Amino acid sequence: MEDAWDGFDEDMLDEMGISPEDYQEYLQQYHSQSYGQTEEVFAGRPPWRKMLVDCAQPVLFAPDTQRLVTYIVALCLLQRFINNLVFLPSRVKSLTTGILGVCALYLTMDKETLLPLVGLFGVFVLIILWSAKEKRSCGVFVTLFSAAAMLTFQIHLPSKQFTKLRGALMIFVMKMVSVGVDLDASALNAVPSDAATLFGYCFDVSSVLFGPWFRFADHWTMLNQPSAILEQIKSILRGCVKLAFCLFFLVYSSCLVDWLIPDNAAYISRWLTAFRDAQSYRSSHYFVSFIAEAYVLLAGFDLGKTVVTSPLHIELPRSLVETVVHWNVPMHRWLRHYVFERVRKLGAGTAVICTYVASSFLHGLNFQLSAVLLSLGFYTYAEHVLREKLARTYNACIRARKCAPDCSHQNKKSHMVVMLVNFLFFVLAVFHLTYLGMPFVSAGDDDEHGYSWKHTWTVWRRFSFISHWVAALTLYFAWAI
């Protein structure tokens, strides 16, 4: 301010008809406005305390959140207590976990949404028990009926009701199909011989809402072989840690990511906005995955490491293939075992497409989800073919999946060129994930009723379908070399 004053002496100000006091006041106003604009441009966000009060606190104390972290957690801990009652018959334990699962569904969805799922279970039980008794192809009958049921629910149920039911219905269908196929292959150590055991497996309180999927044999083993006291304490502590992670990702997806990359910041761009919105959607998936892990651990069903997702492998992916594997590990295992391996004889490309079609079907044949999943199938196939050829041609560790330490490649991952190529594929994967996450940005009431095809088409058209063009060029290059 003093430098600015030195540029004008009193005589010059008198000639302009400005008093020194008025000029000083003008300079103060100018600098205050300039500094304020600079602060707004570089901050572009409210104070973090205001963000916590106005956004994080309402999200954490919302009724839906409270039901998930109090009532459902209490039901899971009750199931753990019942599993430790060694004098109870296995059938009683199985029936109990099914009843607790129905209670969990009742607490999180309305009666009109719950009734179709219970009715569907009754039909599944009749099919499985009849097929097992008559030695028929149980897996075929269950799979066909599952497809028909999914289509029927999607067509006849209101979109908002089907959207609420979709997650539980997907896990339910996965469990039923796995039981039917495993019965045909005689792969079940414990055979579900009555409706009570199937009821406990399908409506298991720890997995009925968000998964994860696990085999009937694992469910039966965990139900009848409780862990030692020390292991149970560790399991409960791990469940509490997972619960903390899920709440963090809930706040991050709802509040923190928008606070870190606000719309009115000077450095914002439409691609940075797209990255932010895609990461917000992925973080909401981490919330669901970690709360699913927490429920399983707190209920006493410790499936080894109990990993549903791995945010590190998704946010810093070696490849899109790695992202797909770690997005939902139990579902990846289910799709690989019950879809991919059964159609692999038709060719790797056909098996990949069939797997993604099955995944789209399980998610409800929603255009938005189906478009993203089928695009992802095309992307991963193109990337896999290209990197396999490059790895063979240059004898280098640049395949889509990470090589074993004792692999036969001459150029290992520490080689400078190999590191550069893998980094470029990492950048490409982040680019594709940003593009694929764009349609999941909230569009009014569409997030409750399901997104329309126009929303997805409009979002991708705004970016000239650039990711699809890049994937097509990737596949063309893979075929050309």
Alpha helices in 255-414 (DSSP H): 257-260, 270-298, 311-315, 320-327, 329-335, 341-343, 348-362, 367-394
Two tokens, residue 380: 């991963």
For 157-207, the three-class secondary structure string (H helix, E strand, C coil) is: CCHHHHHHHHHHHHHHHHHHHHHHHHHHCCCCCCCCCCHHHHHHHHCCCCC
Q: Name the DSSP letter for residue 72.
A: H
For residue 37, the Cα-to-chain-centroid distance in whole angstroms is 39
For residue 162, the Cα-to-chain-centroid distance in whole angstroms is 19
Q: What gap in Å lies between CA 441 and CA 461, rounded to an integer?
A: 15
CA distances from 434 to 134, 224, 373 (A): 51, 45, 14
Under 8 Å between Cβ of 432 and 322: no
Under 8 Å between Cβ of 173 and 151: no
Dihedral (CA of 178, 179, 180, 184) sign = positive
Q: Name the DSSP letter for residue 406.
A: T
Q: Which residue has the tokens 């980094």?
A: 423
Residue numbers annotated as active site: 363
Q: Torsions phi, psi of 396, nearest 5? A: -135, 160
Nearest to 203 by CA among 309, 75, 304: 75
Number of Cβ atoms within 10 Å of the Cβ of 88: 14
CA dihedral 393, 398, 401, 406 (to 10 degrees): 90
Phi/psi-derived region of residue 465, left when phi > 0, alpha when psi is between -120 and 50, beta in every other case: left
